[in-house]
A and B are shown apart, each in its own frame.
Chain A
Amino acid sequence: MSVVTNTTTIGAIDAPSRRNTELMLLGLAVAIAVFAYVNVGLAIDGKLPAGVFGYTAGITLLAAVAHLVVRKFAKYADPLLLPLAVVLNGIGLVMIWRLDQSKRLIRRAEAAWGSFSPDAPKQMLYSAIGIALFVGVLLLLKDHRILQRYTYISMAVALVLLALPMFFPARNGARIWISLGPINIQPGEFAKIIIAVFFSGYLMVKRDALALASRRFLGLYLPRGRDLGPILVVWAMSILILVFETDLGTSLLFFGMFVIMLYVATERTSWIVFGLLMSAAGAVGVASVSPHVGARVDAWLDPFGCATAACEQVSNSIMSFGAGGTLGTGLGQGNSDLIGFATNSDFILATVGEEFGLAGMMAFLLLYGLIVERGIRTALAARDPFGKLLAIGLSGAFAIQVFVVAGGVMGLIPLTGMTMPFVAAGGSSVIANWALIAILIRISDTARRPAPAPAPSPDAEMTQVVRP
């Protein structure tokens, strides 16, 4: 859409694409990550880390590829989403590399498994796969509304993905992995996106029925049984996940996402009341039955008072934040590795808190907050209900995930064992979240794209030509 070529009375001015803003922010994001990398190297060894050029080249290349694809295939996309994801992923890589240097973790790994393999190179690979998926989504998904067609297929796929880990052995108390040879996948991360697609498709069709065909009871609008059915199914499903996979985080995430989407689709507050009641009932019930979840709750209530592994992790994590204080110890100079084996996955935020301090921690949380904010803005701007629902579902899921992980690590809520999007070590998480960002970018591109100009009217063309 460059120059106005027609001569209608509505003069369309080209909406700014903001691609150059994105480029500039990307440059900043890459610079921050590289600076952090150099900083860690200097703090730990007193010299530039050997991998600095490889890392700089790698992250610059990934950012550049992503940017070029966005520039070409999603011209009007929100300019903030990509740079935010890049800076988080970049800093996450640096933190993982920093923890790879920890003598404590190396010795622990050698004592437990006889060898130590650094996670940073793997994470770099996962990031590359994530960007590839990002590119793939933008190339293949020309319009997010295509996804509507796959509503029920999505549901089936999501259910299969969620059910699969039950057939694989539990790891560290949670059954959330499927192992295929050397590859370990956390299907919950992907299911999050697929289920958002299903909810959007389902709710878009059923929203009127859910919103209007209801009886008033005690000031609440009670939906009809047949409309309530799917909700009860999802509730039951999340409880089942919780029971069989002891995965409190994922069930909370799905349930929260569904309640948000229901509320947005129906505009009825009663759905939120139902949602909260049901999730509270489910959570309390399971917490009192499952010892794994119970231990986590105990660790939350009194992290210094009990001697379980969960307590030790949470208390160490809280002490990490305390050690960071206002300004932090500086990159590479903290002792967050005292937390132990989950330091670079579930608890990576503790390293951020300790080494960046309160100042950096707030900046970090605001980066996540910004991603959510841009997602919701995309939902507001989207013109079709499917796009609105999908965008709010993904952003809401993202927000809940961040809250659940960060809150757990900081001892605000019981620990649930999810990963901090983009930052924590783990392939599934990084790859899935890149896909999530790609879908948001696609929706925002559609939302912000200027309305197509009306076809030129031959009549208007005729009258225009006035020759003396």
Chain B
Amino acid sequence: MNKPLRRIAIFCGLLVLALLVRANWLQYVEAEKLNTHDKNRRVLIERYAAERGNIIVDGKPITGSVKTDSADFAYKRTYVNGPMWAPVTGYASQVFGANQLEKLEDGILTGNSDQLFFDRTMAMFTGDKKKGGNVVTTLNGAAQTAAFKGLGSKKGAVAAIDPKTGKILALASTPSYDPGAFAGSATADEKAWATLSSKDNKEKPMLNRALREVYPPGSVFKVVTAAAALEHGKVDDINAKTDTEEPYILPNTRTPMKNMVTGCEDASLKFALQISCNSVFAKLGDEVGKDKMLETVKKFGFNNDELDTPVRAAMSRYNETMDRPGNALSSIGQFDTATTPLQMAMVAAAIANDGKLMKPYMVDQLVAPNLDVISQTKPQEMSRPLSSENAQLVRDMMENVVENGGGRKAALGGGVKVGGKTGTAQHGEKNSKRPYAWFISYAMTDDGSPVAVAVVVEDSGASREDISGGGLAAPIAKDVMKAVLDSRR
């Protein structure tokens, strides 16, 4: 009976071998795939297993972590002043995932990034607990507070940039939400998430309006048209009379271009911007032509769908395929033109920075748990939409708007020059919806401009440009600029 016994022994050996091969297959070959499988809860457990690193503003964390008694997640994300900072931080929820900085810098915050390999290895030897690194932002707490308070209960957004570097100083969006409300995995968190993220929630609190929503810019876009006209030599003297008839008929149509104000006939460019003549700028845009308008707006950052701050901004658009009247309408910020508040802040920043547009960014440094700086963002020039001389000319016009036009409420005084432009963007079928109030501006000191701001307020309730853009949005811009200037002293 020994011969079959030996065969059975081989058979049993094969059974064990099959198990060994399977173990190797699962644990060596397939391990990586299994560990990153989206049904694998360990990914989430790991993310909240240790204290998460923090997002830092002005040297102070605006996030935190608390220990929970959950079986799966040791720590829960907390937020300091969550609603105010939500457009910057995004959220990190045990159940509902993460977005914005919390997601993009997840590797650093959890400590799992390859950049932290050395720290992890050291911690293994010293027996330290794994810790996450910090993300140091470029934001300015005072400016953010001013923006958030200024918007108050209104629906809208503010973006502020340091024109010289491209540092984002404020990024506010209202109505906002508290990312801490659904950071955990309790029933309350689920309810909060359901309410906030519901499609029926007309307030859309989780929409980051400063980066991710595009609005028709209305009259604030005239600044771009003015810059394009100067750049392409259509206007040399901003004080010279333009050859604009009243009423101006849109090219190839019989539609007259309406002006909200009187005195636009043959108005100079400077005066036309001061009182915000539609006719002058529509005509100017038509003279520049679609192609050259496009050249300039692209330099300002339009039609770029990969603008990363590192949170990607929605694409601001200037239609590339429209006809002549469409281009004329687009030149005054109507028709298909749409832009994010960040984009308009970039326009103001480029003008304030002598025509040089710096790439906007909000992460200054990534810091290891031991406070070593892992990466430092260097300011980067994005483009030069207009020459230094032309930038100076546009500033003349914008400062005139604040001194004599609709932007008076943004004036700061005290030796600080402010340039701005109001806007009221009508939208909806036959402009039936309540218009958006816009204001873009920059502050200028002796050593250049420290801040450029764009403010948009939805549902402003007033239709006249001066009242809405200048009345509602300008004071917010003023507070933000003042906060930046004050924090510099």
Q: Is the pair B34, A321 in contact by a Cβ cutoff of 8 Å? A: yes
Give the shortest distance, in Å, between A208 (CB) and chain B (any CB). 12
Nearest residue (CB) in B for A271 is B4
Could you mark each residue 419-433 of chain B with 1 if its beta carbon is under 8 Å from any beta carbon of chain A, else 0?
000000000000000
Given A353-B23, A400-B15, decide whether A264 and B71 contact each other with a Cβ distance below 8 A.
Answer: no
Contact A315 B23, beta carbon cutoff 8 Å: no
The reply to whether A319 and B1 form a contact with Cβ atoms under 8 Å apart is no
Interface residue from A265, A365, A395, A412 paired with B16 (Cβ < 8 Å)? A365
Is the beta-carbon distance between B20 and A264 smaller than 8 angstroms?
Answer: no
**What residues of chain A lie closer than 8 Å to B12, measured between beta carbons?**
369, 372-373, 376, 395-396, 399
Interface positions of B from 361 to 420, Cβ below 8 Å from A: none
Bitwise interface map of A from 303 to 327 toward B, beta carbon under 8 Å scored 1, else 0: 0100000000001001101111110
Main secondary structure of the interface of B (DSSP, over half): helix
Contact pick for B37, options A107, A319, A335, A395, CB 8 Å: A319
- Contact between A321 and B26, CB atoms less than 8 A apart: yes
Check B27–A321 contact: CB distance below 8 A.
yes
Can you list, as one digit per residue, whether each of B23-40 has a CB less than 8 Å from chain A (1) or not (0)?
Answer: 110111011111101011
- Whether B42 pairs with A267 at a CB distance below 8 angstroms is no
Q: Mark A95-107, 1 if CB is under 8 A from B, else 0.
A: 0000000111011
Q: Does A75 contact B (CB under 8 A)?
A: no
Shortest CB distance B331–A (Å): 55
Q: How far is the CA of A410 from the CA of B8 in the complex (A)?
A: 24
Cα distance A368–B37 when bound, in Å? Answer: 31
Assess whether A264 is in contact with B18, with CB atoms less than 8 Å apart.
Answer: no
Chain B residues touching A, range: 35 or more
Q: Is A35's beta carbon under 8 Å from chain B?
A: no
Q: Inside 8 A of B15's CB, which chain A residues have their CB? A: 399-400, 402-403
Q: Which of A362, A366, A368, A412 contacts B18 (CB 8 A)?
A: A412
User: In the bound complex, what is the Cα–Cα distance between A22 and B15 (angstroms)?
Assistant: 27
CB of A410 within 8 A of CB of B39, answer: no
Of residues B8, B18, B30, B31, which shows the largest number of chain A Cβ atoms within 10 Å of its Cβ? B8
In the complex, B2 has a CB within 8 A of chain A: yes
Instruction: Find out whether the CB atom of B26 lies under 8 angstroms from the CB atom of A318.
Output: yes
Flag if B8 contacts A362 (CB, 8 Å).
no
- B98 lies within 8 A of chain A by Cβ: no
B485 CB–A CB distance under 8 Å: no
Closest to B35 in A: A322
CA A460 to CA B23, docked complex, whole Å: 63
Given A263-B8, A362-B20, A399-B15, A304:B37 Cβ within 8 A: yes
In the complex, are the beta carbons of A335 and B42 less than 8 A apart? yes
Q: Is the CB of B19 within 8 A of A323?
A: no
When the two chains form the complex, which single residue of B2, B11, B28, B34 contacts A318, counting CB atoms closer than 8 Å?
Answer: B34
- Check: B191 CB closer than 8 A to any chain A CB: no
- In the complex, B13 has a CB within 8 A of chain A: yes
Q: Is the CB of B2 within 8 A of A361?
A: no
Q: How far is the CB of B104 from chain A (nearest CB, A)?
A: 25
User: B202 within 8 Å of A by Cβ?
Assistant: no
Residue pair B41, A335 in contact (C-beta under 8 Å): yes
Interface residues of A in 20-37 (CB under 8 A from B): none
The docked-state distance in angstroms from the alpha carbon of A304 to that of B18 is 22
> C-beta contact mask, A362-378 vs B, less than 8 Å → 1, else 0?
10011011001100100
A282 CB within 8 Å of chain B: no
Is A49 interfacial (CB-CB < 8 Å)? no
Nearest-CB residue, chain B, relative to A403: B15
Residues from chain B with a CB closer than 8 A to the CB of A399 are 12, 15-16
Which of A319, A322, A335, A338 has most B Cβ within 10 Å? A322
B22 near A: Cβ within 8 Å?
yes
Any A CB within 8 A of the CB of B123: no
With contacts A260-B8, A326-B27, A376-B12 known, is A403 near B34, CB below 8 A?
A: no
CA distance A353 to B28 in the complex (A): 12
Interface size class for chain A?
35 or more
Bound complex: CA A412 to CA B14 (Å) = 14
A286 interface residue per 8 A CB criterion: no
> A325-342: which have CB < 8 Å to B?
325-326, 335, 338
Whether the pair A264, B28 counts as a contact (CB closer than 8 A) is no
- Using CB atoms, name the residue of chain A closest to B13: A369
B11 neighbours in A (Cβ, 8 Å)? 260
- B462 interface residue (CB < 8 Å to A): no
Which B residues lie within 8 Å of A107 (CB)? 71
**B9 interfacial by beta-carbon distance below 8 Å:** yes
User: Measured between C-beta atoms, what is the minimum distance from B8 to chain A in Å?
Assistant: 6
Please tell me if B287 contacts chain A, counting CB pairs below 8 Å. no
Does A358 interact with chain B (Cβ within 8 Å)? yes
Chain A residue numbers with a CB within 8 Å of B4 are 263-264, 267
Contact indicator per residue, chain A 242-273, by CB within 8 Å of chain B (1) or not (0): 00000000000000000010011101000000
Residues of A within 8 A of B23 (CB): 321, 353, 358, 361-362, 365, 410
Q: A325–B5 contact, CB under 8 A?
A: no
A267 interface neighbour in B3, B16, B24, B33, Cβ under 8 Å? B3
| Most chain A beta-carbon neighbours within 10 Å: one of B13, B26, B28, B71 | B26
A410 adjacent to B5 (CB under 8 Å) = no
Question: What are the residues of chain A within 8 A of B6 when measuring CB–CB?
Answer: 380
Q: How far is it, in angstroms, between the C-alpha of A399 and the C-alpha of B20 when the chains are bound?
A: 14
Residue among A357, A366, A403, A407 making CB contact with B27, cutoff 8 Å: A357
Q: Flag if B31 contacts A388 (CB, 8 Å).
A: no
Chain A residues, Cβ within 8 Å of B336: none
> A267 to B15, alpha carbons, bound, how many Å?
21
Question: Is B192 interfacial (CB-CB < 8 Å)?
Answer: no
Nearest chain B CB to A387's CB is how many angstroms away? 11
Which residue of B7, B8, B16 is within 8 Å of A368 (Cβ)?
A: B16
Q: B249 at interface (Cβ–Cβ under 8 A)?
A: no
Beta-carbon contacts of B242-280 to A below 8 Å, as 1s and 0s?
Answer: 000000000000000000000000000000000000000
Answer yes or no: B459 CB below 8 A from chain A CBs: no
The winner among B15, B20, B31, B35 for most chain A CB atoms within 10 A is: B15
Distance of A325 Cα from B20 Cα, bound (Å): 14
Bound form: Cα–Cα A264–B41 in Å: 48
The verdict on A376 contacting B39 (CB below 8 Å), with A319-B34, A325-B31 known, is: no
Is B190 located at the chain interface by the 8 A CB criterion? Answer: no
A322 near B72 with CB under 8 A, answer no
Smallest beta-carbon distance A145→chain B, Å: 16
A residues in contact with B80, CB < 8 Å: none
Asked if B45 CB lies within 8 Å of chain A CBs, one says yes
- Which A residues have a C-beta under 8 Å from some C-beta of B? 102-104, 106-107, 260, 263-265, 267, 304, 315, 318-319, 321-326, 335, 338, 353, 357-358, 361-362, 365-366, 368-369, 372-373, 376, 379-380, 385, 388-389, 392, 395-396, 399-400, 402-403, 406-407, 410-412
**21 A-B pairs (CB sep. < 8 Å):** A267-B1, A267-B4, A318-B26, A319-B35, A319-B39, A321-B31, A322-B27, A323-B35, A325-B31, A325-B35, A335-B45, A362-B20, A365-B20, A369-B13, A388-B1, A392-B8, A399-B12, A399-B16, A403-B15, A407-B22, A410-B19
Given contacts A260-B11, A396-B8, A399-B12, 4 further A-B contacts (CB under 8 A): A260-B8, A321-B23, A365-B23, A366-B20
Across the A-B interface, the 7 shortest Cβ-Cβ residue pairs? A322-B34, A358-B27, A103-B71, A369-B16, A321-B26, A403-B15, A399-B12
